[in-house]
Structure 1
Amino acid sequence: CFDRFILDLRRCALLCGQEEIRLRPRSFDVLRYLDVLRYLAEHAGRVVSKEELIQAIWPSVSVTDDSLVQCIRDVRKALSDTPHRIIRTVPRRDYLFAAEVSPDILAPAFSSNDARDQKITFCRTPDGVNIAVASAGRGQPLIFHSTWLNHIEYEWQHPVRAPLLHFLANRFRLIRFDVRGVGLSDRDAVDISFEGFGRDLETVFDALDLRRPALIGIAPGAPIAIAHAVRHPERVSRLVLHGAYALGRNRRHSPQQREMADALIALMQQGWGDEHSAFMRMFSTRYLPSGSPEQIALMARLAFLSTSHKTALRVMSESCEIDVLDLLPQVSVPTLVLHCQHDSVVPFDEGRRVAMSIPNARFVSLESENHIPLPGEPAWSKFTSELVAFLSD
């Protein structure tokens, strides 16, 4: 705590009393915005140079002095610090956090070393594919499945993906894995298919020998999670589906959806493989329409690192043909379905269809245009609170 503010790193939130301050930084994503404030507060009473601040917060990203100045300006605006009482500019010596800080602010964003440091192991599928599995945190086991566009090692520090992962690892034993062809798992797998991805998930369950973990399926990971929950209801305690669909684009009986799928695959054939290409920026913007330029660039970087050009095309083609519609009425485990209202990756109506077709499923609509809500937007608090309430019930 400092002045009248609370910096809650566990929630990725800045509070004034009990009210959360809505953050709208112009320069950087909210997580980095809060990191700047945290770093200055941790070093209260000491002058911090611009070079030190940039190296501490953006060690692998090129950040200009002008961008840092804008970031500090955004932080001051959130704190109503126009007289610069809290963050002072020291001529030729940079910044000084002048407010008195209570020890609470120095509490880490993680509740323990177990949540901060993930452990990576490997397991082998029946068809001989090595799958990389990451585990972090303590408590009730929670398997997080998002299929592709992920890399279990890189994502852990990724400014866009890390907030949700760290939030979950603070409360559960979070288990993630890279499917075949993706991230740290075997990149040369022959069978890139819905069935193959299902084998990957089953192998993770078998290898960890978990007692009825909860299962989260995100986007293409959702239909795979649905199929697993129907096939093995005794192995899943609760099912969470976000950005979910039961029918791939080519199965939705919509000429427009089929045309969109064909156009996207055609663009991927030409533009995938260069993270700085116009296509990769466009592709990443679909996931983060309200993201900052830095967030979109980092999302493109994640996509580039996650898989090869060839595998990306195969995964996208396979995703367009998914059909688990007939399985939905067979889901018997408690289910929570969340969907962003203006999601441009998976239409809102697809999530609604999933929720309507699963017996007794709870549906939560999120006011966001991003595929997954970001810290700082109102949907983030609703998203995380609904997750915790459902999984802890």
Structure 2
Amino acid sequence: MTARVGTSVQSIRFARSADGVAIAYAVHGNGPPLLIDKCWLSHLQFDWQSPLWRHYLVELGRIATVIRYDERGYGMSDRDVADHSLQARVADLQAVADDAGLERFALLAMAQGGPVAIEYAARHPGRLTRLILYGTFAGDQLTAAPEDLELYETVGAIIRVGWSRPTAEFRRVFTSLMIPDGTEEQMRSIDDLQRLAVDAETAMQARSHRVVTDSSARLSQLELPTLVLHSRDDRAQPYQRGRDLAARITGARLVTLESKNHIVLADEPAWPVFLREVSEFLAPDRVTAPRAADDVIATLSPRELEILRLAAEGRDNVAIAAELVLSVRTVERHLQNAYAKLGLQGRNARTAAVARLLAHT
């Protein structure tokens, strides 16, 4: 499945996690791979055109091949899911990385994605080139200050009472914590996303797991370049959590964003700071990345390109053969030739080849 906004295209795919849950993920952009664990409040198609997320997706797609996914139970991933444990969520991240054919990649964790990313980084130190932690934490929220615990309980009550209501009065409380400086359009976008991304029951089940999820013990084990970004007056995730991450990860650098917003908005001074810091942090990956996508794609024949474009639309080999009036065997041969030119092999070669094509588009 593909979607286009302006000149940008995202391809939506599905990875199968260890327990069989289907995890939806999207690929767009050009450059070294950057996998984003944006965590629970997401919907791949809705976010693609959201006034809250478009500046992130457009700008990050100019410096990296962006892979992002909907968590289990949320967005376009399987909804009827009972297991929201840390173990399951780490397996989901692993499944997406494998299905997308990523050998080594940078990982960006936002919000409640922090514990998952930290756990994954500790388990797979050779898989990541670098780690970005944005507006997030390691866990252990139950030792938070009393006012933080009171806020946690209040948000839980709001979810139970108002999450599924057609009007957004209850959801707006949560929205105001996320982007207190947001425009009405941006706030409506989060209001709508809450109800679209997840139902109230799933949201409560997931929260019950996350409040006891803690990867703090892993922080001292991380030995990779790490960038921590956090808004100074973040109301959803207190600034102290970002400071704690930077203090406990060897060599980590903390960048303070002068903002009240948990999600930095496109028109505030903190946004170019965020973008500059991330771009400069990822620069070594661009220098050491394999041959540029444009150069590699240029080696494909017109027929190989045509077949790959149809594969990017989600068509299988039988449908591609019918469209081009070829035999299935001929389609398979062209695909194998394309994989060889792109240096790909194995069960994830098709997904990786499509990602390379989309990055070139």
TM-score of the aligned structures, taking structure 2 as reference length:
0.75
Which residue of structure 2 aligns with residue 314 of structure 1? 205
- The CA deviation string for residues 294-346 of structure 1, in whole angstroms up to 9 with x for no partner, is 21111111111111111111222322222111111111111000000000000
Task: Flag as ranges the 4+ runs of structure 1 deviating above 4 A.
Answer: none
CA distance in 2, matches of 1:312, 1:228: 23
CA distance in 2, matches of 1:118, 1:132: 12
Tell me the percent identity.
38
Which of 10, 21, 39 is the equivalent residue of 1:118?
10
Task: Give the match's secondary structure for 1:121.
Answer: strand
The one of the two structures with greater contact order (alpha-carbon pairs below 8 A, sep at least 6) is 2
Which of 273, 276, 283 is the equivalent residue of 2:164?
273
Residue 227, structure 1, aligned to residue 113, structure 2: no
Contact map agreement 1:129 1:186 (CA 8 A) in 2: yes
Q: CA deviation at 1:257?
A: 2.4
After superposing the two structures, state which structure 1 stretch, 309-318 or 163-172, moved more. Answer: 309-318
Which residue of structure 1 aligns with residue 324 of structure 2? none
Q: CA deviation at 1:223?
A: 1.5
CA distance in 2, matches of 1:198, 1:156: 24
Contact map agreement 1:240 1:336 (CA 8 A) in 2: yes
Aligned residues: 281
Residue 381, structure 1, aligned to residue 272, structure 2: yes
Which residue of structure 1 aligns with residue 51 of structure 2? 159
Which residue of structure 1 aligns with residue 108 of structure 2? 216
Which residue of structure 2 aligns with residue 371 of structure 1? 262
- The CA deviation string for residues 172-226 of structure 1, in whole angstroms up to 9 with x for no partner, is 1000111110111100112122222111101112212212110000011112111
CA distance in 1, matches of 2:127, 2:92: 15
- The CA deviation string for residues 118-149 of structure 1, in whole angstroms up to 9 with x for no partner, is 00111111101001110001220010111110
Contact map agreement 1:248 1:319 (CA 8 A) in 2: no
Which residue of structure 1 aligns with residue 245 of structure 2? 354
CA distance in 1, matches of 2:275, 2:35: 16
Q: Which amino acid aligns with 1:167?
A: E
CA distance in 1, matches of 2:278, 2:42: 21
Larger Rg: 1
Q: CA deviation at 1:247?
A: 2.3
1:49-88 to structure 2, matched below 5 A, reads: none
Which of 56, 73, 76 is the equivalent residue of 1:181?
73
Contact map agreement 1:328 1:357 (CA 8 A) in 2: yes
- More helix by proportion, 1 or 2? 2
Which residue of structure 2 aligns with residue 243 of structure 1? 135
CA distance in 1, matches of 2:157, 2:87: 24
Contact map agreement 1:261 1:320 (CA 8 A) in 2: no
CA distance in 2, matches of 1:262, 1:146: 23
CA distance in 1, matches of 2:167, 2:187: 11
Which of 263, 266, 281 is the equivalent residue of 1:390?
281
Contact map agreement 2:168 2:191 (CA 8 A) in 1: no
Q: Which amino acid aligns with 1:324?
A: S
Task: Give the match's secondary structure for 1:270.
Answer: helix
Question: What is the RMSD of the two structures over their aligned residues, measured on CA atoms?
Answer: 1.6
Which residue of structure 1 aligns with residue 218 of structure 2? 327
Task: Give the match's secondary structure for 1:294.
Answer: helix
Q: Which amino acid aligns with 2:266?
A: P
CA distance in 1, matches of 2:85, 2:192: 24
Task: Give the match's secondary structure for 2:219.
Answer: helix
Which residue of structure 2 aligns with residue 128 of structure 1? 20
CA distance in 2, matches of 1:195, 1:146: 17
Where in structure 2 are there 5+ consecutive unaligned residues?
Answer: 285-361
Residue 282, structure 1, aligned to residue 282, structure 2: no
Residue 339, structure 1, aligned to residue 248, structure 2: no
Contact map agreement 2:115 2:138 (CA 8 A) in 1: yes
Task: Give the match's secondary structure for 2:126.
Answer: helix
Q: CA deviation at 1:248?
A: 4.1
CA distance in 2, matches of 1:230, 1:344: 28
Task: Give the match's secondary structure for 2:180.
Answer: coil
